[in-house]
Amino acid sequence: MMKAAMALLMISVIALLSAGCQSEANKQNAAGVTLGNRGYPDRLKNAIEDFDLAIQRDSQFTLAYYNRAQAYFGLEQYEEAIKDYDQAIGLDSESVLLYTKRGEVYFALGQYERALQDHEQAIRLDSQFALAYYNRGGAYFKLGQRDLAIQDYQRAVSFYRRFVSPGYRGCDFYDDLKQYQPAIKDCRSLSRLDPGFAKAFGERGLASFEQGQYLQAIRDYDVAIRLDSNRELYNNRGLAYKGLGKFDEAFQDFETAIGRRAEFAPAYYNRGILLYELEEYQYAAETFSRAIASDPLYADAYAQRALAYTLLVKDKLVKLDIDRAVELGVDRVELEADVQELKEKR
């Protein structure tokens, strides 16, 4: 259902033709859009029938092939969608969006190499098309090329603002059809409404965090959260705040992450680490316990709780946590050395 709604969001903003110059094909295409806008599978099927008629009346109607491909995509009829994108590209081989959208279908089919090829072609046609970089990044990730993926997410972020600029008209495919206003609406919606761009900012934030660039990471997470606020983003921003020594902000982000999903173990764990570093050992131990309750296989949570229990002089519990942490893969020698060091200081 979500794919159907997303597909028809795209359809709804590209097929409005100027009054007074509609051919019969245009009318059928517009009728298909009207049906498709309802966002339900049966409506999509009816929309396809109208797009069929539009194409029968004008076999060179690029927009109708595009719209029908979008409808097929919404119905998860990927092979049919590809056929229509092939037809549309045959009619307009310079359309950046056609290659990008066909690449999305190949991605849905798990054909990541072919998706990569389409997004690369889109980038050759428009080296500043953010969506193509974002999609190519996704294909690189699936192919295990993480560094290239992050580079593309960074490029997507750098070009992102271009799409929300009021003066940008973009999308040559629509310009060729003299659909300037729909093109503006579509290109702006493409970046502003697609929560997938949150991943681009989030990935760049993660890369900055790993390089110790905490302030830049926070800036990227800020944007990502505005686009798609989810627990992982709050948790990661909390870690960046912690890296800057801004413990109040970090604690608040961990709390928000927990609030969005009570069983989210990583946020409990990170909050426990923060409390431990603030020497709130009892609260830290309790928070590690919450992490373990959420994920009984969380090895690091057992290890950290063992350290907290050591400082609380709960040696029997320390031994139990050490044994459990070791069972889950923690190095016994290293953990016991840490515990012994703490015992000597207490």
Compute the CA torsion angle 76, 82, 83, 84 (nearest 10 deg): 80
Q: Residue 9, CB half-sphere, CA atoms under 13 Å: how many?
A: 16
| pLDDT for position 177 | 39
At 93, give phi and psi (nearest 5°).
Answer: -80, 0
Per-domain residue ranges of the chain:
2-198, 262-345
| CA neighbor of 305 nearest in space, from 297, 296, 317, 323 | 317
pLDDT (0 to 100) of residue 160: 62
Choose among 217, 188, 190, 189: nearest CA to 201: 217
Tell me the per-residue pLDDT of 88-136, one tens digit each, with 9 for 90 and over. 999 999 988 899 999 999 999 999 999 999 999 999 998 988 888 888 9
In this prediction, residue 200 carries a pLDDT of 72
CA 157 – CA 197 distance, rounded (Å): 8
**Nearest C-alpha neighbor of 14 from the set 124, 101, 93, 133:** 101
CB proximity list for 5: less than 8 A, separation 6 or greater: 39, 74
Q: What's the pLDDT at 293?
A: 94
Structural domain 2-198, CATH architecture: Alpha Horseshoe (1.25)
Instruction: Quote the pLDDT of residue 249.
Output: 95
Asked whether 254 and 267 are in contact (CB, 8 A), the reply is yes
What pLDDT is stored for residue 151 in this prediction? Answer: 84
CB 174 within 8 A of CB 182: yes
Going by the DSSP 8-state scheme, the letter that residue 191 receives in this structure is H
Q: At a CB cut-off of 8 Å and minimum separation 6, what does 19 contact?
A: none
In this structure, what token pair is assigned to residue 301? Answer: 């949570």
- Beta strand extents in the chain (DSSP E only): none
Q: Are 85 and 95 in contact (CB under 8 A)?
A: no
pLDDT at 164: 38
Contact (Cβ atoms closer than 8 angstroms) between residue 218 and residue 234: no
Consecutive 10-residue averages of pLDDT for the chain (346 residues): 45 37 48 45 77 86 86 91 95 90 95 97 90 88 84 77 38 32 36 57 83 90 84 95 95 90 86 95 96 95 98 96 96 96 91
DSSP label of 126: -
2-198 shares its CATH topology with 262-345: yes
Structure tokens at 206: 């993660």
Return the ∠ at Cα 337 (arms to 333 and 338), rounded to 5°: 120
Q: What is the CATH architecture of 262-345? A: Alpha Horseshoe (1.25)
Of 323, 211, 284, 287, nearest in space to 220 by CA: 211
Largest distance between two CA atoms of the chain: 88
Q: Which residues lie closer than 8 Å to 50 by C-beta, 6 or more apart?
A: 28, 29, 31, 32, 35
What is residue 291's predicted lDDT score, i.e. its pLDDT? 95
Tens digit of each residue's pLDDT (9 = 90 or more) over 124-178 = 998 988 888 888 988 998 898 877 887 887 787 777 654 433 333 333 223 233 3
Sign of the four-CA dihedral 68, 71, 77, 78: positive
CA distances from 213 to 85, 150, 176, 178 (A): 42, 16, 44, 45
